[in-house]
A and B are shown apart, each in its own frame.
Chain A
Amino acid sequence: MPPQPQPPQPPTAGSKVVLTLTVNGEAAEVAFEPHKTLLEVLREDLALTGTKHGCELGECGACAVLVDGKPVLSCLMLALECGGASVTTVEGLARGAQLDPLQDAFADLGAAQCGYCTPGILVTARALLDQHPAPTRPQIEEALAGNLCRCTGYLSIYQAVEQAARKAR
């Protein structure tokens, strides 16, 4: 077999790799150890600690972020897989001092108690409303089926999503 051209691989800086991705609308160049997950890079190398460390095994949804607009679990995604991607975390929802309507509704209705699940739920609900501005209750339940909450019993969360959807119309 003739020698093949090498595909582009991430450049390295010492033991770290350097990737460019868009985080909350801004281009970010970040150097990190190649075994790190997106969750670890967001929290440890980009100081975005809004996204929470829960089970780290895909079983709770606390680490949910949007990658190219879709909710994913950042604990299961190697950061190396995110080169060129656009990542939205809970820090990216507000516009300056103006909270996202979802954040207002969660505060109004007590949809966050301990708050540990809240960042993951907010970004997941944001993706839902971007796709379905007037979701039905079953659509909300299905969209949030990958986010566990041990405090609220979910009802206030569903109501807050509905309120945010109404206010946005």
Chain B
Amino acid sequence: MRAPSFRWHAATSLADAARALAAGGPRALLLGGGTDVVPAIKRRQYVPELLISLRQVAELGRLEPHGASLRIGAGVRLGALAADDRLGVGHTALRRAAGVVASPHIRNVATLGGNLCLDTRCNYYNQSLEWRRAVDYCMKAPAGVALAAPAGGTCWVAPGSPRCWAVSQTDCAPALIALGASVTLVSAEGQRTLPLADLYRDDGMTWLTRRPDELLAWVDVPAAARSTYWKLRRRGSFDFPVLGVAAAVELAGDVVTAARVVLGAVASHPVVVPTESLLGRPLGDDAIAAFAELATRLAKPLDNTDYQLGWRKRVTRAYVVGALRELRGDDPALLGVLARRQAALIPA
């Protein structure tokens, strides 16, 4: 499978990248580590006219304290991030999520920015051109392969639906939203900072609120007293999440004073679960069970990823319970078989 031809620009600075992106128009595509872009262009999910490489942009590779937060450049590689000592216990959810993306080889190249901007995925979309042609394409990847798809076409997962249901399967986004991260986007026009949750849209076709001329420059990540990330996938390596549960809590004694729980891979965007019911009391079994019920109702998986649909919905409850029990300090050995899949939780 060969990549199509494209024009190439190796950006040398953030300003240069922003300028190239603005000048490149709608068929310019940013290249972080390329671990999602390269398979996608081989399959002609998109055919960019211009690729803008961010590899040489030194500003994007920085990782440094910024006030009480950690500022992490979009070009930081996930493998290096997961191993970086500047991520303390306060950033456990991020360290875990970055450390379970894809496989070690991919993490050596994959960037945080690419992970946060990762295209949504679907069994009908992440296929070769020939496969997609054989089913007459779907709405997200129409026949006239382009970067921005025209309106129309069928969603093969929900053929009656006017929208695309491709799934957000980034591991780091739920973890970073749970930690309360904000993201800074830079364009030739200037820059703006927004809560990371606001970067995402509940739409498989246009999954980011990023303007086409903006690039993700860095994220600011506050620390949380306790946080975790639980990932469900068939194999312990390679596979995208079929469910991700990120959770962060602050406790005063054993009373919860703040909590954020985010579900990945159950919708076209990371799903933020309202946590009011957890606040002002300990993480008791009943509170956790009621909360897990609410989270499960918000999870709307469709039959377009690995694993059977009904089970994916049921396992959401078990994962939310497990993650919150871990955060209240339960012995990992007592958390059961699902916990044993969280490699980082159970030391080898």
Contact = CB atoms under 8 A, between A and B. Distances in A.
A7 interface: yes
Interface stretch (B5-13, B63-71, B150-158): B5-13
Helix, strand, loop or mixed for chain B's interface?
A: loop
Contacts of B10: 7-10, 80
Interface residues of B, number: 36
A35 B6 contact: yes
B109 interface: yes
Interface residues of A, number: 37
Contacts, number: 100
A57 B109 contact: no
Interface stretch (B32-40, B165-173, B250-258, B305-313): B32-40
Given A4-B19, A56-B1, A76-B35, A81 B105 contact: no
A119 interface: no
B106 A146 contact: yes
Given A56-B42, A57-B39, A138-B348, A73 B3 contact: no
A9 B16 CA distance: 13
Contact of B105 (A1, A33, A56, A61): A61
A118 interface: no
Given A7-B11, A146-B237, A81 B103 contact: no
B38 A4 contact: no
A61 B103 contact: yes
Interface string A1-33: 100100111100000010000000000000001
Interface in B120-160: none
Interface in B24-38: 31, 34-35, 38
Contact of B34 (A35, A76, A124, A143): A76
B4 interface: yes
A145 B42 CA distance: 24
A59 B238 contact: yes
A120 to B, nearest CB: 9
B280 interface: no
A74 to B, nearest CB: 10
Interface in A52-77: 56-59, 61, 64, 70-73, 75-77
Helix, strand, loop or mixed for chain A's interface?
A: loop
Contacts of B11: 7
Interface in B72-115: 79, 102-106, 108-109
Contacts of B231: none
A68 to B, nearest CB: 10
A1 B188 CA distance: 10
B3 A78 contact: yes
Contacts of A71: 104-105, 108
B9 A64 contact: no
A34 interface: yes
B53 A81 contact: yes
Contact of B4 (A10, A35, A147): A35
A143 B104 contact: yes
Nearest to A68: B108
B2 interface: yes
A37 interface: yes
A4 B104 contact: no
A76 B106 contact: yes
A34 B5 contact: yes
Contacts of A143: 104
A9 B62 CA distance: 24
B162 interface: no
B153 to A, nearest CB: 24
Contacts of A130: none
A158 to B, nearest CB: 13
A7 B108 contact: no
Contacts of B55: 81
B103 A37 contact: no
B343 to A, nearest CB: 8
B113 to A, nearest CB: 15
Interface of B: 1-6, 8-12, 16, 19, 31, 34-35, 38-39, 42-43, 51, 53, 55, 79, 102-106, 108-109, 188, 236-238, 348
Given A34-B6, A81-B53, 7 more contacts: A7-B11, A35-B2, A57-B42, A71-B108, A73-B35, A76-B106, A80-B53
5 contacts: A9-B10, A10-B10, A57-B39, A78-B34, A78-B53
